[in-house]
Amino acid sequence: MKSTDLTTPALPKVLRDLFEAKLASGDIELPFLPDTPARVMAACNEEKCDARQLAELIQRDQALAGHVLRVSNSAAYAPKEPIVSLQHAVSRLGMGTICEIAMAVSMKGRVFRVPGYQVKIREMWQHSAIAGTYAKEIARLRRFNVEGAFMGGLLHDVGKPIVMTAFLDILAQLTQERVPVRLLESAMDAFHERVGAMLIENWSLPRWVHAAIRHHHDYTQAEDYAEEAATAHLADLLAHWAFDVRTTAEDFDHDLPVLVDLNLYSDQLELLLQRRGDVLEIADAFT
């Protein structure tokens, strides 16, 4: 099976209609982003932000600061000596990496939480972390915005846990039985792009992030931001492939249209596939 064969059964119409009604009524609870992570994410997109300012921002949230230091000291980033302060972390790893770590730990704690479905949510988070890391690798090969690509890859499925929570609320009114994961997957496949884009708009993130999340399955619809959406699209496919330990490089579809649209050659794709181990190690640091 090719790694791009990711289909799930169609969502029954009656359930689709119930979810559409919930969307239309505005009855979708969107996680709110605390002040410090919001400021950190904004700073990551500002050219004038320096290492001292970034360290001071992160320090305001002790939980976030602790997570950033833990990840900074992980084997994935292999510091030559223990990193003991945020300024030390920023100076050793660079602002770009610290921004990525801060964004990742914020997303994990605020969005990827659905009680009773921890295993599925963990898988979804691992996939997102792998996609974010792969998006950065794609951008580096293409000399594109690396930090921006990471954000698009990391957040591409941000709507899924929100859809899951809302869909569970709907089904709780219809049945007391545990909902099959495949049915939840069908709901998430049907609505996660729209709901993710709603969240990005609610958080006032840049338009290109909104476009990448809203159109990462059909990047041709992203208009001015088709490149960002295409990067998230390919990162998504690579993440699905990399997460399945049974797959080899030959299992990945080498004839994807997105490879042509991103002007990636076969040797560059091979480099991405060869980076699998490193990508998984870095993504694992976030989980």
Q: What is the DSSP string of 190-225?
A: HHHHHHHHHHHHHTT--HHHHHHHHTSSSGGGGGGG
Look up residue 85 and give its amino acid.
S
pLDDT at 8: 65
pLDDT greater at residue 64 or residue 125: 125
Q: Domain 1-29+112-287 adopts which CATH fold?
A: Hypothetical protein af1432 (1.10.3210)
How many percent of the chain have pLDDT more than 90? 51
Please check whether residue 107 is in contact with residue 155, taking contact to mean a CB–CB distance below 8 angstroms.
Answer: yes
The per-residue pLDDT of the chain, averaged, comes to: 87
**Spatial contact of 61 and 16, defined as CB atoms under 8 Å apart:** no
Domain boundaries, the chain: 1-29+112-287, 32-110
| Packing angle, helices 95-110 and 62-72, rounded to 10 | 120
Q: Give residue 182's pLDDT band: very low, low, confident or very high (50, 70, 90).
A: confident
**Helix 146-155 with 207-214: angle, nearest 10 deg:** 40
Q: Is the confidence at residue 3, as pLDDT, over 50? A: no
pLDDT of residue 7: 56
Task: Return the pLDDT at 173.
Answer: 86
The pLDDT tens digits for 100-112 are: 887 787 788 778 8
CA–CA distance, 60 with 278 (Å, rounded to integer): 31
Residue, of 285 and 196, whose pLDDT is higher? 196
Q: In 3-state terms, what secondary structure has residue 117?
A: coil
Segment 96-125 shows an average pLDDT of: 84
Report the distance separating Cα 219 and Cα 156, nearest Å.
Answer: 12
Instruction: Provide the token pair at 113.
Output: 């939480």
How high is the pLDDT of residue 4?
Answer: 43
Q: Say how far apart CA 157 and CA 145 lie, in whole Å.
A: 20
